[in-house]
Amino acid sequence: MKNIRRIGVLTGGGDCPGLNAVIRAVVKTSIKQGCAVTGIKDGFEGLVKGKDFTFELTSDSVRGILPRGGTILGTTNRGNPFSFKVIENGIETTKDMSGVAINNMKSLNIDCLIVIGGDGSLSIALDFFKLGVPVVGIPKTIDNDLSATDFTFGYQTAVATATDAIDKLHTTAESHHRIMLLEVMGRNAGWIAMASGIAGGADIILIPEIPYDIDKICNKIEDRSSAGSKFSIIVVAEGAKPSGGEQMYLDSGAKRLGGVSQKVADEISAKTGLETRVTVLGHLQRGGTPVPFDRLLGTRLGAEAVRLALDGEFGKMVCLRTPDIKSVTIQEATGVLKTVSPDGDLVRTAKNIGISLGD
Ligand code: F6P
């Protein structure tokens, strides 16, 4: 088996709280085992661009980063080496630059690549693995939608941020007798909406997995009003859609979801005559200090990924299988989304305590 003397590490896709905790754990564990670490800037794009986009990661470089949001390595949603955007003769086109990336790894003496990413970055990691590149994956996303792990780090911090927003909306909604809608992230999964909605005491939660009926939403608001509660809080996942309808995009080309909460608010106003207000929480959910759960999970995953790399267990992704950190093949881990089950415990709990799912 190849002796691993230098590990390369990159963060790909959208950032999320806890990435720095993972990087720190990768560096500390590697150095303790006598292995050097190269940080690659801006995800796979940095691997294609080579030496100038790399730097030595030492104990000094990771000092103090545990509580910091974001990623000290930088990241991007673009830069897939297998279809890399280039300008040729003044025209933008895409080119397979995977060979360039592999050569860069060789010239930088990187023996194994640790990829910290979501579904997209892990799929790229898998493509490299199929070309013989030693890779180990670490799952990351605030959306918590990767099936191979119980939780992704970043999710609990996003839920805490969304719950705090609901708490704040409650007081102003009650004072003004308004219907307040909070749109949260999550792509095609309603995890952030469900968890924050229940933890924040929302009256209605709309998620992609359960198409909503606007009349059911209005009935719930009117029932509350008749019972004396002249305000309501509605948490709307960005991927929610009406029964028989489609999801809404701010940019359909880039598949950037958004706008559904304003549509629901307008329909509620038109049907009930009540005053509605919309808050889109947006990237606040991705920023800030990671909660302890995410720091701990990130640290455990980072340390275990180095163990896999040093043991030559390539093509694998570390994951949380409570109470342990385990691993699965990246092949198994990618492509299967974990979504909220309409028959599962979260939805049942919500309904049992009187929260409407709009169905
Ligand atoms: O996957 C994480 C996520 O924050 C989603 O919840 C959201 O839909 C998307 O990324 C936003 O991406 P961007 O930062 O490119 O706007």
If you write DSSP's letter for every residue of 76-103 in order, what string do you get? -S---GGGEEEEETTEEEEE--HHHHHH
Q: Distance between CA atoms of 29 and 311, rounded to whole angstroms? A: 13
Q: Check residue 298 and give its pLDDT.
A: 98
Place of tokens 């025209």: 91
Residues 57 and 40 in one domain: yes
- Pocket lining: 257 vs ligand 1, CB cutoff 6 Å: yes
- Pocket lining: 187 vs ligand 1, CB cutoff 6 Å: yes
For atom 14 of ligand 1, the residue with the nearest CA is 14
The residue range of the domain holding 174 is: 155-286+341-352
- Collect the ranges in the chain with pLDDT lower than 70: 1-2
Q: Is residue 74 part of a domain?
A: yes
Q: Is residue 275 part of a domain?
A: yes
Rounded alpha-carbon distances, angstroms, from residue 286 to 174, 237, 321, 330: 28, 15, 24, 24
Q: Check residue 1 and give its pLDDT.
A: 56
Q: Is residue 358 part of a domain?
A: no
For atom 13 of ligand 1, the residue with the nearest CA is 14
Q: Distance between CA atoms of 15 and 276, rounded to whole angstroms? A: 32
- Pocket lining: 143 vs ligand 1, CB cutoff 6 Å: yes
Domain count, the chain: 2
Q: Check residue 356 and give its pLDDT.
A: 98
21: buried, middle or exposed (CB in 10 Å: 19+, 13-18, 0-12)? Answer: buried
Q: Is residue 181 part of a domain?
A: yes
Which of 286, 337, 338 to probe ligand 1 with, by most ligand atoms within 8 A of CB?
286
Q: Check residue 77 and give its pLDDT.
A: 85
Residue 252 is part of a domain; what is its CATH number? 3.40.50.460
Q: Distance between CA atoms of 298 and 18, rounded to whole angstroms? A: 6
3-state class of 62 per DSSP?
Answer: coil
Report which secondary-structure segment, H or E, holds 192: helix 191-200
Residue type, 193: A
- Pocket lining: 77 vs ligand 1, CB cutoff 6 Å: yes
Residues 278 and 299 in one domain: no
Q: Distance between CA atoms of 86 and 92, rounded to whole angstroms? A: 6
Q: Is residue 329 part of a domain?
A: no
- Pocket lining: 186 vs ligand 1, CB cutoff 6 Å: yes
- Pocket lining: 14 vs ligand 1, CB cutoff 6 Å: yes
- Measured in Å, residue 77 CA sits from the centre of ligand 1 at 9
Which of 143, 191, 281 to probe ligand 1 with, by most ligand atoms within 8 A of CB?
143
Give catalytic residue positions: 143
- Measured in Å, residue 106 CA sits from the centre of ligand 1 at 33
Task: Give CA torsion, residues 29, 33, 38, 39, to 10 deg.
Answer: 0
Q: Check residue 99 and give its pLDDT.
A: 97
What is the per-residue pLDDT across 152-195, written as a single tens digit (0 to 9) for each? Answer: 999 999 999 999 999 999 999 999 999 999 999 999 999 999 99
Task: Give CA torsion, residues 58, 59, 61, 63, to 10 deg.
Answer: 170
- Pocket lining: 117 vs ligand 1, CB cutoff 6 Å: no
Which of 146, 185, 255, 284 to probe ligand 1 with, by most ligand atoms within 8 A of CB?
185
Burial 34-70 (b: 16+ CB within 10 A, else e): ebbbbbbbbbbbbbbbbeebbbebeeebbeebbebbb
**Residue closest to 178 by CA, chosen among 203, 205, 214:** 203
Residues 131 and 245 in one domain: no
Pairing between β-strand 256-257 and β-strand 36-40 as defined by DSSP bridges: unpaired
Q: Is residue 138 within 8 Å of residue 302, measured between CB atoms?
A: yes
Q: Is residue 331 part of a domain?
A: no
- Measured in Å, residue 142 CA sits from the centre of ligand 1 at 9
Residues 222 and 235 in one domain: yes
The two three-digit tokens of residue 160, written as one number: 């805490």
Global pTM exceeds 0.85? yes
